[in-house]
Structure 1
Amino acid sequence: MVSKTAVVDGITMRWEEQGEGMPVILVHGIPTCPALWRHVMPLIAGVRCLAWEMVGYGASIPEGVGRDISVAQQANYLVRWLRHLGIDKAVLAGHDLGGGVVQIAAVRNRDLCSGLFLTNAIGYDSWPIPSVKAMRATGPALRHLPNLAFKQIFRTFLQRGHDDSSRARDALEAHWPHYERHGGAEDFVRQVSALDVQDTLAVAGDLPSLDIPARIAWGEADRFQKIEYGERFARDLKAPLRGIEGGKHFTPEDHPEVVAQEIIALLG
């Protein structure tokens, strides 16, 4: 994978890229970055994979200061970035918040999306989850936590979302350094403060009319985004749902083979 950057409308945008061919755009969620897809991308051959970094997340945390980093606005940023790269047709894949981003992008730019893949994604009224709501409510106090204390909260959050403990430790090493390098808890509070369930509710009614190929993969034991929402996506998008028995929230890290297989099937 090659790390790339481009300045789009005054914002430095970052992504990881590999391969050539049909573009497949991978979008992460919170509190992750494009490294979420690090085990998936090598398993997808014969396509151009681009794992985009949301503005205000990962190495792009500084770009979020003073900007709208809501899920709806991330969809706008994503589309501008794609247009900047000259990509006018792509498969969009999203996890967690990234799933909300690609839903909105697909509904509002139907000419752009040739296929949609969701895995343990936000949608409808499924979010923000209770723990995130609690952290948002305590934001004024949380933002002042020293990095050592916030790292423990961060670690616990990741552990709750992984069914593979070794992958949870690996995830901490992949995603924590961006918070440690910048503002730590203050960055996370900025991210959760931008979350608004109306962003996905606004497009929920349009999902059944999308009429594009779609596939869903879902960790059945996810306590953050329940399997019932995966089933609802499957009905609305007329898409097959592949449940991952015992799988929790961070499926691209715990079950990259399953995620890659479903994206390949969508491409086929």
Structure 2
Amino acid sequence: MALSIPGFEYSRITVADGVALNVAVGGSGSPIVLLHGFPQTHLMWRHVAGELARECTVICPDLRGYGDSDKPAEVDENTYSNRTMGNDVVALAQALWHEQFALAGHDRGALVGFRTAMDHPEAVTHFAGLDVLPTLDMWKVLQGTSAAVAFHLYLMAQPPGLAEVMIANSSDAFFTYFLDAWTKKPEALPAEYRAAYLKASADAVPSIVADYRASAGIDTVHDQADVDAGNTFAMPVTVIQQDWGAALGYDAAAVWGAWAPDLEHYTTNAGHFMAEEAPSEIVAALRALVAR
């Protein structure tokens, strides 16, 4: 039996030509969209979503190219750009009759959320990013031997072909590495959820690589255009990160502050998978955000 978020209703919603997203919706009240990260699916929000559904309409999709959502072939650099996936998010909310919504994302989902909030300030009322830096800044701070922690970014940034073959031929080992290395609380990722993440990732290797490839290309172009234009977030922003900024030699709060005039920045003792390792902490931060 497929895993699901208890009490949530599931459907497939078309958001673009030939692209439908798998989405779980629960609760009632002001809407908040929760976007998952790598190498996971919407199930990573199961604890947070259930709590927020007490007072919010909670919308948890699988991103384009991930989980049970459609995985279109990579036609060009825009197929899996953050801008394209952000447009998916807005179309999804509108299909559910929400013209405005709060938005929180983890890891890759936070980068999609970043672009959605920048491109659609009329739609996104609040934005939260979990354990990530903006794409443009991420590439700037990864220097020297410290960049070895992000080897997967460089692997998947290569032209189509090599990365897809290498990862597909060792998908369990590849994706398991991140589930193990990025958690401080392994019990927060029970065996059945780990298995679901590994299966979903193995089934999505080409689209996952295409997503990462866009981060080394068109996504940086879009971010730089905002920098050149002096654009910043128009809404309240909360960022929650591990304290890895100091280890890599930069001030994470200052990096985010350049983008977000109205910023609350927190560090957590949880590992990367903080929505599963410390869900109460994340719920409290998101409740505080939407109250701003």
TM-score interval for Structure 1 and Structure 2 normalised by the shorter chain: 0.7 to 0.9
Q: 1:66 to 1:155 in 2, by over 3 A?
A: same
Identity of aligned residues (%): 17
Instruction: Give the partner amino acid of 1:26.
Output: L
Query: For residues 9-59 of structure 1, what are the alpha-carbon distances to aligned partners after superposition, in whole Å with 9 as ceiling and x for unaligned?
Result: 332122111100100011122222211211211121211010122111111
Instruction: Give the partner amino acid of 1:83.
Output: Q
Instruction: Give the TM-score, by structure 1 length.
Output: 0.84
Which residue matches 1:41? 49
For 2:276 and 2:244, locate their aligned partners in 1 and report how far apart those are by CA, in whole Å: 15
Question: Could you say what secondary structure the match of 1:94 adopts?
Answer: strand
Instruction: Give the partner amino acid of 1:167.
Output: A
For 1:143 and 1:21, locate their aligned partners in 2 and report how far apart those are by CA, in whole Å: 42
Question: Could you say what secondary structure the match of 1:151 adopts?
Answer: helix
Question: Could you say what secondary structure the match of 1:118 adopts?
Answer: strand
Determine whether 1:56 maps to 2:65: yes
Which residue matches 1:172? 194
C-alpha displacement at 1:85, in angstroms? 2.2
Question: Could you say what secondary structure the match of 2:187 adopts?
Answer: helix
The total of aligned residue pairs comes to 264
C-alpha displacement at 1:80, in angstroms? 1.9
Residue pairs, 1:82-93, within 5 angstroms: 82-93=93-104
Instruction: Give the TM-score, by structure 2 length.
Output: 0.78
C-alpha displacement at 1:163, in angstroms? 1.2
For 2:108 and 2:83, locate their aligned partners in 1 and report how far apart those are by CA, in whole Å: 10
Q: 1:186 to 1:112 in 2, by over 3 A?
A: closer
C-alpha displacement at 1:132, in angstroms? 2.1
Residue pairs, 1:1-268, within 5 angstroms: 1-10=8-17, 11-44=19-52, 45-60=54-69, 62-66=70-74, 68-123=79-134, 124-127=136-139, 129-137=150-158, 140-145=161-166, 149-168=170-189, 170=191, 171-180=193-202, 182=203, 185-195=205-215, 196=217, 197-204=220-227, 209-221=232-244, 228-234=251-257, 236-237=259-260, 238-245=262-269, 247-268=270-291
Give the CA RMSD over aligned residues: 2.9
Q: 1:179 to 1:242 in 2, by over 3 A?
A: closer
Query: For residues 174-214 of structure 1, what are the alpha-carbon distances to aligned partners after superposition, in whole Å with 9 as ceiling and x for unaligned?
Result: 3112134x35x444433333333334344356787434222
